[in-house]
Amino acid sequence: MAAMNGRKAAECDAVAVDPLERARRMLDTGEPGLSELSAAVGLSVSHLQRSFRRRFGLSPADYLAQRKLGSLRASLREGRDVSAALYDAGYGSPSRVYETGAARLGMTPARYRAGGDGEDVRWSLVDTVLGQALVATTQRGICMVELGEDAAALEAKLHAEFPRARLQRVDAGRDEFLAPRVRAVADALAGHEAQVPLALLGTAFQKRVWDALMKIPRGQTRSYAELAASLGAPRAARAVASACAHNRVAVVVPCHRVIRGDGSLGGYRWGLDMKRGLLERESAA
């Protein structure tokens, strides 16, 4: 017990002397403005902004937005009333979450609570150089690319991702909306240049990581630490790895181009054999 109390005391002391950790704790428990944070932790506004982003990968405002959005998601998943969930998460009015939160959820809070109920998702299976690929799209763009050999397993993953959306399987060659998107994905998986409209649903930091991934030239790799540093957040390597793990769009968002600092492959949602093969093909090309 004494040892435990000692550790807690040490943690409190660390927070007391670390202004960035103090700022983070304040954002976790309230909604302080930037000027209030700056005065409380003894850093200028500009220094606080730069240092907080470098440490945590987000500005204080984005960190607060993510914390509120996380609370909203949890409440909605628990089946709470939408209005109560909005106010409990800290949104001052319903209009605020529809202006900001709906965009990050990818749909309105009511639809998110209902597992995507009301969303139209069209999908098709296509044979590619990497095997079968399931391509799913909303009106905003491609929302999912899954790879695998078992068509039933691919469809099951789609249903798990969008349990209550209106899922419509179509013949990609006969659907004017889906056909060009499926062809673009197949071209991208074959290693050709292709413009693929995407509907990437994630947090602000995840989207920054995914955007950075798409800027890595074909045939090159980056370590998790290098990618974090390129985002101005050198201590966020683990958060970068988490964003890669949550990427739903195989190859088009090339998380296979991120490896460990020692040169080993690290993880990959679609299997290390697939990752190794992709890197070898791109390197040879």
Q: How many CB atoms lie within 10 A of CB 93?
A: 10
| Long-range contacts (CB closer than 8 Å, 24 or more residues apart) made by 58-63 | 58/204, 58/205, 58/233, 60/23, 60/27, 60/34, 61/34, 62/204, 62/205, 63/24, 63/27
CA-to-CA distance for 230 and 144, rounded, in angstroms? Answer: 26
CA-to-CA distance for 58 and 23, rounded, in angstroms? Answer: 13
Nearest to 52 by CA among 40, 187, 190: 40
What is the chain's Cα-based Rg? 21
Active site residue 143: no
Instruction: List the beta strands (DSSP E) in the chain.
Output: 120-128, 131-138, 141-148, 166-169, 222-223, 258-259
Q: The tokens 């050198």 sit on which residue? A: 234
Catalytic residue among 12, 143, 244, 255: 255
132, 158 Cβ separation under 8 angstroms: no
**CA of residue 105 relative to chain centroid, distance:** 11
Burial label for 27, CB within 10 Å (0-12, 13-18, 19+), is buried
Tokens of 280: 């070898």
Instruction: Give the pairing of strands 166-169 and 141-148.
Output: unpaired
Nearest to 65 by CA among 195, 159, 173, 203: 203
Please give the positions annotated as active site. Answer: 255
